[in-house]
Amino acid sequence: MSNDLSNAVEVETPELVVLSYTIAGVGSRAYAALIDYVICALFVFLADLGITVFFARGGGLVRSASSSLAITLIILIQFAVLWGYYVLFEAVNDGRTPGKQLQRLRVVRDGGYSVTFGSSAVRNLMRIVDMQPILMYGVGMVSVMLSKSGKRLGDMAAGTIVVKEGLVRQPAFAEPGGGFSASKEAPRLHAALTAAEFDLLDRFSQRQRDLDPARRAIIATQLAERFAPALADHEGATPAGRLGRLYNAERAARAAGSASRQDTGAARERHSLVARESKRWAGFAAKLADAQRTGLKGLGEDGVREFVAEYRDLAADLARLRTASRGSEVDEVFYLNRLVAGAHNLVYRRRTISPQDIVRYMFVEVPREIRASALPILLAAALMFGPAVIAGTAIMRDPKVAEAFLPPGMLDRAEEGVHRAKTGDGYIEDPQLFRPVMATSIITNNVQVAIAAFAFGMTAGLLTVYLLVSNGISLGAVFGLYGSKGIAALLLAFVAPHGVLELTAICVSGGAGFLLAAALLIPGDRTRKRALAENGKRAIKLVAGAALMLLVAGTLEGMVSPILYWPIEWKLVVSALTAILMYAYLRGGTRAARSTERPAI
């Protein structure tokens, strides 16, 4: 029975062979996601339980220190699982999380290539939008159902697709079966039925057992009338019996490479090719199954060379078979397509990421992209700092306006700040032992804000604009409120050590969101699909740079900013140093890039 490839996407390999990948449906993806959720929840529960038990000892200062470290680890683990589980598994395990692996699904890039760390990061950070509303994945499921390629928003931005990968069984070209009794007749020189007629008889053979007897008898009589000339040489008490003899004879004839008398040219080539090469295909299928379990390295150097050569031979066979089949969806094409597709994923799998690759990415490619994306980053900065200046100025002129911009808790903190400024207690209490907890909480929160600013670009930038403007208003309102009370120095002393990096990082993340928005709104001479994939690849570099800045900024905010005994001058020095280091980081990427581009002497 011919396999249905209608829910498929076609890609062209470097060997100029068209492959059809079967798109994973909503059901299988949801089941895989459920498995991954259970794994994540179980891991977090066991990790939190283990940390709690391990640190639940001692008393006094020791216990406080242990509690601080325990809470810090719990926050880090939860954050790592939430945002790192899918990215790392798909990047390291070649597009498969445990859930996808159990469901025989794989994430691949458009074109059938293996997913990279960057593309995996784009599609999974975009979950912050796809999982709406409230972790129900309504946006993602609607996107999958509406997209011809079964893509959620993350796949669109990353240029990836989720495909079914399981190998199908080799068609039993010469084996009798399918519900008819075996025939002992010798195969004819030519098959009596055309390819279309044989496919019709084959479908009846496979399904007749599921039909009720009356319905089966009616269909068998109709087929017997249609195939009357071919049935002239076959005896049987019933139409079904005669059809069974015909079916077995036709299968045997095709297994011998015979074509029907009506077939010419390419159609005859199909039967000859299948009969001649099916045994070799079966041998390669077994080798492919081993390679998918162990990787190509498990085949050894000579084995890899042989595997690649056989893959290219099968790719050529597939091209010939597609031509010979004249576009019809026959078992042999489906089977060989799956073999070639599976081998293609292995042959063109990306190489392992080395520490040198990571260093080059973070300190050469990321700074280079930040410079190249100066325009969207400056737009983000204008949308954040413009409203900040307006809100701050308005509150300085009329402090009552602050009630419209700030929550009651912040208004109360400002009132308390007047007292703290007089007593020299600083902006907030110094957590001391709990500084690591504060730093970790700040880092994880700020990184998630950066992820949101990037992912919201898929709303044509509207939510990115809202996030930047609202944060800008809050920032300006707080400074305006403290300034109106004459205690701006108190707030500045707290913000100065980390403010340069943190605010720059938010603007960089906003720039990443605007890159996605630009791909949707002004793709230029590119298709939106291509523009999204290309801009998504650029945008994730901005997110990586922002995350690095926020890591340092959050550490400073939790460990340095609250120190009470440091004068404001010291903290301004720290602020200046962060600005110098950030400038060096961005310019250092220029020098590194130029050094790698120098021709060898």
The tens digit of pLDDT for each residue in 220-233 reads 888 888 877 777 76
Residue-level pLDDT at 44: 93
Kindly state the helix (H) or strand (E) to which residue 571 belongs, with its residue range: helix 568-597
- At which residue do the structure tokens 């089977």 appear? 335
Window from 33-42, 356-365, 428-437, 452-461 with minimum mean pLDDT: 428-437
How many Cα atoms within 13 Å fall on the side-chain side of residue 564? 12
- Say how far apart CA 235 and CA 115 lie, in whole Å: 57
> For residue 544, what is the DSSP state?
H
Residue-level pLDDT at 115: 85
Distances (CA, A) of 336 to 101, 257, 265, 280, 477: 22, 17, 21, 11, 65
- Residue 545 near residue 370, CB atoms below 8 Å: yes
Q: How many residues appear in the chain?
A: 601
Determine the residue type at 337. N
- Say how far apart CA 301 and CA 265 lie, in whole Å: 40
Provide the token pair at 525.
Answer: 């001479």
Closest C-alpha to 338, from 288, 291, 296, 283: 288
Window from 3-7, 86-90, 161-165, 319-323 with minimum mean pLDDT: 3-7
- Residue 188 near residue 232, CB atoms below 8 Å: no
pLDDT in tens, 500-520: 999 999 999 999 999 999 999
pLDDT in tens, 36-52: 999 999 999 999 898 88
- Cβ contacts of residue 415 below 8 Å, gap of 6+? none
Judged against a pLDDT cut of 50, whether residue 596 lies above it is answered with no
Kindly state the helix (H) or strand (E) to which residue 507 belongs, with its residue range: helix 488-521
Domain boundaries, the chain: 8-166, 195-255, 266-347, 356-597
Bridge partner list, 19: 11
**pLDDT > 70: what percent of the chain?**
82
Q: Is the dihedral of CA 96, 97, 103, 108 positive or negative?
A: negative
pLDDT in tens, 230-245: 777 666 667 877 787 7
- Cβ contacts of residue 24 below 8 Å, gap of 6+? 103, 105, 150, 162, 163, 164
Task: Determine how β-strand 160-164 pairs with β-strand 18-22.
Answer: unpaired
pTM of the model: 0.75
- Residue 158 near residue 122, CB atoms below 8 Å: yes
Average pLDDT over residues 319-340: 73
Residue-level pLDDT at 598: 39
pLDDT in tens, 344-401: 878 877 666 778 888 999 999 999 999 999 999 999 999 999 999 999 999 999 999 9
Name the packing angle between helices 300-325 and 331-347 (round to 10°). 150
* Mean pLDDT rounded to a whole number for the chain: 81
pLDDT in tens, 102-119: 998 989 888 777 788 899
Average pLDDT over residues 560-574: 89
